[in-house]
Structure 1
Amino acid sequence: MNKFSKTFLACLSIIILFISIFQVSYLETKPQSITILFTHDMHDHFYPSKIEEDGEIKTIGGYARLNTAIKKERERNPNLLLVDAGDFSMGTLFQTIFASHAPQLRTLGKMGYDVVTFGNHEFDFRAEGLADSLKNAKDSGEDLPQIVASNITFPVDDDGKLTPTLSKLKDSMEYYGVKDYTIIQREGVKIGIFGLMGREADSNAPMAEVVFEDYIKSAEKVVDVLKNKENVDLIICLSHSGTHEDSSKSEDEILARKVPGIDIIVSGHSHTALEEPIVVGNTIIGSCGENGENIGVMDIKKEGNGWKLEDYRLEPIDDHLSEDLSINETIEYYKEIVQKEYLDIFNMEFDEVVAHTPFSFTPYSLLGTKHEEDTLGNLISDSYIYAVKKAEGKDYKPIAISVTPVGTIRGSFVRGDITVSDVFTVSSLGIGPDKVSGYPLISVYLTGKELKTVAEVDASITPLMSVAQLYTSGLNYTFNPNRLIFNKVTDVYIEDEEGNREEIIDDKLYRIVGGLYSAQMLSVVGDQSFGILSIVPKTEKGVPITDYESQIIYDEGHEIKEWLAIAEYLKSFDKKGGVPQVPEYYNQKQGRKIVDDNPSLSAKLKNPNKIAIIIYSIVLIIIIALIFLIRFIVRKVKKSKEATTHDA
């Protein structure tokens, strides 16, 4: 090697060493920043949803468009983090193959989701259904998102053993690789991500079989491990708990206050679309709506010992986005499976038109926001009676009322053709003991006194728990929201099939029809009323029912599903041009639930029921006691003054 070569190599070595030192120094001083994309409550909305806006029919959401939006964000930042805060399933026909094919997790994996958590609706198919879904997803061999769920526990029986279904779920969760938390590296940042199920979400999963540990206590334990054992730089919680307009009832705000070590909370369950994030202390809470209508974007940057929000936005998933061809092919693949394995059972087609509506019903986003009668609720509750009458034929036993809680309605109908897919979306929840998707209808009996209680449940419990609002067929009532709780109903009666008013007899048994889930949630209503409003479903002979599934109504050996009742009812309407037409009757209210907002004192106090009389009596006793106490004190003071004057 000549002198020139040696000199050149020496200079080159110095340059390389200088560059290395510069790079290390630059990386150490470069501000650390992370982009987080998030969704939640997508509820199987693989296809776009129809809405009416300013008289125009538009579509929002859809996984093919969503993936286009994700790809655009990846072009801006290839190392972004993509997460989901639960309820990615249950809401459209694609849920029908949840257990057998796991299209939800497999499609999320195809779109590049890093981490997701469970929502309460992932448990709608019970422990066994979720177990099958996890196993089939894993067996597919496809890329899948990591699942984190930190507060799931498995209760054992008196012998210290798990039930067969819980044992199966536990094994499937281990097989899939579900963890309390996971750690991901992005842009040199060590990120700890964990998942939670909140209290209200827990109460909305009556068939889960697992037990959810208190979400605050669980979060405290996980955050302690992430901070002190794993030494992460950033902590993200995928929380299926939700927010509320009243911060004292906002579970994720409470979580942020009580567990301040969490940097980011992606808030699912309440379907909230936060145009601006909620900031509690140093914790940033984001929420992007429902059904894939938006994707949330957060850009955060390291600042001191914490993180600063640089950008927060909700990117709409609508008509301006093209559809990703690869995801479209995936959706079509699963659609064919849905048709073959589910819809063929009912002799229906995915896109089959069952009726045409010349008007739009209340948009799903507004459904239940007002405490009043709703035309969609009327249609659904009427369909239950129609379906039972059709199934029972000459053996039909008169139904006094049917009941539909707003919380079981998952969509609405927009002006135009109504397809089988649209109908299923409106009433898509759950599964029956037949292990076929969709809650079945059940028939029970209530006393006349309990029918009046049903009206009072709606009037008094709805302000405390909005999903409990009831829509009815056959039961008409008037209530005054200004009256004392549990005494708001001022008039209640049955309207028979001919439209005649029938007074309710307290000790008479009346036949009631509703969905299986509605009956299972009766205990929640009792809890919300502190046990005051008691409703005990009974058999025709008046025997209390403990097994609701024994009361399921069948048609030729098949469970009558809620959605199927609606579809059959729509098909029964008079035809125009060969297509059944939704009658104008359902474009207006029928006086089934009348709100008398009279604020006068007489309106508040007149015709008190027994509960009100007891409360008024207690209040009166307290007032009288206070009067006597005041008089006693006055006399004592007076005597003391007289004694002092006498001594002087």
Structure 2
Amino acid sequence: MRLVKCLLIATWLIGWGVPSLIASDAPPRYWKLTILHTNDTHGNLLPFNYPDPPDPNTQEAQLALRRNIGGIARRATLVRQLRKAFGTTWVADVGDFCDGTAFSVEYRGEADVSAMNALGYTIGTHGNHEFNNPRAQWQKLVQMARYPVVCANVVDATTRQPLLKPYEVLQVEGARIAVFGLLTESTRGYPATREGIEILDAVDTARHVVPQLRQQADVVILLSHLGYEVDVQLAREVPGIDVIIGGHSHTRLAKPDFVPAGELTSAFRKNGTVVVQAFQWGGELGKLEVILRRDPRTGKWTFMGYRGELLLVSPDIPDDPAVRAVVERFWKPMEKYYGVVLGEAEDDFTRRGNDDAEYNLVADALREMLGTEADLENMGGVRAPILRGTITRYDLAKALPFGNTMVKFRVTGAQLRELLRRTRPAVSGIRYRYQGGELVEVTVNGQPLQEDRQYLVSTNSYFAQRYLQPMGIAYEDTGRKRLDVVSDYILKHKRIRPAYDGRRVVDSTVY
């Protein structure tokens, strides 16, 4: 009977990617930990839609469903079901819950943390967008969380002391599991970091922290807001990390990646690092099952196998009442403003080739409403497509979740050419081609760019601070929010249609 039982266990473990077992006199002990994970939810507390049919080259094309998915109240129900089914189950968030919807605009992350508290997150880290707040607001988000927020490379610029717990060592079933966090260095320059916060080099920090954790824990897990490519680099260059739960790059890993670390040294330990990431916006919930083995002779636990997948947060999952109540508490005060219907989109505003129709809409709207000759908008500043059908202000706020105001400025043609060359922005009133590192064609309102002529141009306050100020270009801030100006444009026109007109052509090999 005992032999049959051992054979059954061996068969089960092989199915998890675990090497064949070697019989021993004392039976070892096995234990499974289930980790549910989210990243880059960006304020999407309510269900949302993607364009359907999607661009076949996009990650959303891989989804089984693209309409009416996600929502943290549904996610909470799914988590509750999985906790009941799988026993010991953790829920981890890898940051960037800020900046993405009207909830972000109005509550600066507080609605998200309140909802995550109600769901019952176990542990988390922060992303760069949490630092797109004043330092006091960022600290408030840390204090609000009823779960540990860990990050090893965020320090006070003066004292050099950590501003967050670098790591937590959690003990379950006798196994010691260390969880630490890392944040992308691209966070440097965000509002909170300009108030005395320094972001240390992530790879160097990992090289310093991981050996310490290996002395304290049986398993080391990293919550990484660094992006998939850096996660793989870390797995290759920093030995000792068993699992990396990633974010920042919005990468959809339908199944875990495994980065091996040299030759197999033990039949009972995975020699390498598992890397997972759950795309974006909470449309799917990542699930990673980790199997640990306890050596009967030493009592030490080792990471032995894994299995992972992404679970769709689908419309047939009912809302968790407690989490829904939290979301409704934040939605009700802003429903009257953000629930307003602005107009109707005749088709999806998405990307086709070099044309980003949602950016073209924003630039066209701002140029018309501000009465300028041209408008420039930084790429990355429009965060979501605008979909066919009724457009509410909430829908538009998903595309424009930042509180940028609109500015006007005058530049010479030579300065305008340099701005286009440096920034390669979305435009209105301008057509240009960028190829081989140079502008090879520029026209303004159908006429060739004149180097010595003055042009009246509009843009947003972020673009002005990042690009105009360093070039010494003066500008006037109108004080009008970009979201409001584009809302007024749609209210004026009632029906809008996407423009795919080739106004911005950028050689992707150099962009």
What TM-score does the superposition give when structure 2 sets the normalisation length?
Answer: 0.82
Distance 1:400 1:97, change over 3 A: closer
Which of 441, 448, 470 is residue 413 of structure 2 equivalent to?
Answer: 448
Q: How far 1:26 moved relative to its partner?
A: 12
Q: Deviations over 1:613-640 (max 9, x none)?
A: xxxxxxxxxxxxxxxxxxxxxxxxxxxx
The equivalent of 1:198 in structure 2 is: 184
Note the residue ranges of structure 1 that are not aligned, 5 or more in a row: 1-24, 139-143, 163-169, 244-249, 340-347, 390-398, 430-437, 459-468, 496-500, 524-533, 541-550, 555-559, 574-579, 600-648
Alignment partner of 1:385 out of 367, 390, 394: 367
Q: Hey, what does 2:450 align to over in structure 1?
A: 505
Q: Is the 8 A contact 1:32 1:189 kept in 2?
A: no
Please tell me whether residue 307 in structure 1 is matched to residue 303 in structure 2.
Answer: yes
Displacement of 1:566 in angstroms is 1.5
- Rounded Cα–Cα distance in structure 2 between residues aligned with 1:110 and 1:519: 39
- The SS at the match of 1:53 is coil
Name the structure 1 match of 2:212.
225
Which aligned pairs between 1:533-548 and structure 2 lie closer than 5 A? Answer: 536-539=471-474
> What do the CA deviations read for 1:366-412 (whole angstroms, capped 9, x no partner)?
x5xx76122211110112223434xxxxxxxxx23211223111112
> How much does 1:590 deviate?
2.6
Paired residue for 1:602?
A: none
Q: Shift of the alpha carbon at 1:596?
A: 8.7
* Structure with the higher strand share, 1 or 2: 2
Cα distance in 2 between the residues matched to 1:106 and 1:57:
26
Q: Number of matched residues?
A: 457
Residues 274-316 of structure 1: per-residue CA shift (max 9 Å, x gap): 1122222211110011000111111111258742333110001
Give CA deviations for 1:83-103 in whole Å, capped at 9, x if unaligned. 01110122111123435x822
* Residue in 1 that maps onto 2:441: 491
Which shows bigger deviation, 586-595 or 116-125?
586-595
**For the structure 1 residues 33 and 537, does the alpha-carbon distance in structure 2 shift closer, same or farther, using more than 3 Å as the test?**
same
Greater helix share, 1 or 2?
A: 1
- 1:477-626 aligned within 5 A: 477-480=432-435, 484=436, 486-487=437-438, 489-495=439-445, 501-522=446-467, 536-539=471-474, 551-554=476-479, 560-573=480-493, 580-582=494-496, 586-594=497-505
Q: Which residue of 2 aligns with 1:103?
A: 111
**Residue type of the alignment partner of 1:255:** L
The answer to whether the 8 A contact 1:443-1:552 is kept is yes
SS of 1:221's partner is helix
Residue type of the partner of 1:587?
Answer: P
Identical columns (%):
24
In structure 2, do the counterparts of structure 1 residues 376 and 190 end up closer, same or farther at CA, with 3 Å as the change threshold? same
Q: Could you tell me whether the CA contact under 8 Å between 1:97 and 1:103 is conserved in 2?
A: no
Residues 189-338 of structure 1 aligned to structure 2 (within 5 Å): 189-199=175-185, 201-203=186-188, 205=190, 208-209=193-194, 210-228=197-215, 231-243=216-228, 250-281=229-260, 282-302=272-292, 306-338=302-334
Amino acid at match of 2:135: A
For 1:262, what is the secondary structure of its paired residue?
A: coil
Which letter maps to 1:581? R
Q: Is the 8 A contact 1:98 1:133 kept in 2?
A: no
Match of 1:120 among 115, 128, 149: 128
SS of the counterpart of 2:398? helix
How many angstroms apart in 2 are the aligned matches of 1:360 and 1:420?
16
TM-score w.r.t. structure 1 length?
A: 0.66
Contact kept, 8 Å, 2:360 with 2:499, in 1: the verdict is: no
Unaligned runs of 5+ in 2: 1-23, 55-64, 261-271, 296-300
Change (3 A) 1:445 1:197: farther
Larger Rg: 1
The question of whether the paired residues in 1 share the 8 Å contact of 2:361 and 2:498 is answered with no
Secondary structure at the counterpart of residue 283 of structure 1: strand
Does the C-alpha gap of structure 1 residues 195 and 520 become closer, same or farther in structure 2, counting only changes over 3 Å?
A: farther
User: What is the identity, as a one-letter code, of the residue corresponding to 2:364?
Assistant: D
SS of alignment partner, residue 105 of structure 2: helix
Cα deviation for residue 150 of structure 1 reads 0.9
Moved more, 505-514 or 352-361: 505-514
CA contact (8 A) 2:39 2:97 kept: yes
- Which protein, 1 or 2, shows the higher relative CO under an 8 Å CA cutoff with sep ≥ 6? 2
Structure 2 residue 345 is matched with structure 1 residue 357: yes
Q: Give 3-state SS (helix, strand or coil) of 1:146's partner.
A: coil
Q: Which amino acid aligns with 2:441?
A: D
- For the 8 Å contact 2:94–2:124, the answer to whether it is kept is yes
- Distance in 1 between the 2:316 and 2:259 partners? 34
Root-mean-square deviation (CA, aligned residues, Å) is: 2.9
Counterpart in 1 of 2:101? 92
* Letter of the structure 1 residue corresponding to residue 96 of structure 2: D
Compute the displacement of 1:473 (Å).
Answer: 0.6
Asked if structure 1 preserves the Cα contact closer than 8 Å seen for 2:354 and 2:502, the reply is: no
Secondary structure, in 3 states, of the residue corresponding to 2:304?
strand
Local SS of the residue matching 2:78? helix
Deviates more, 1:89-98 or 1:271-280: 89-98
State the Cα distance separating 1:34 from its structure 2 match: 1.4
Q: 1:373 matched to which residue of 2?
A: 355
- 1:28 CA drift (Å): 7.5
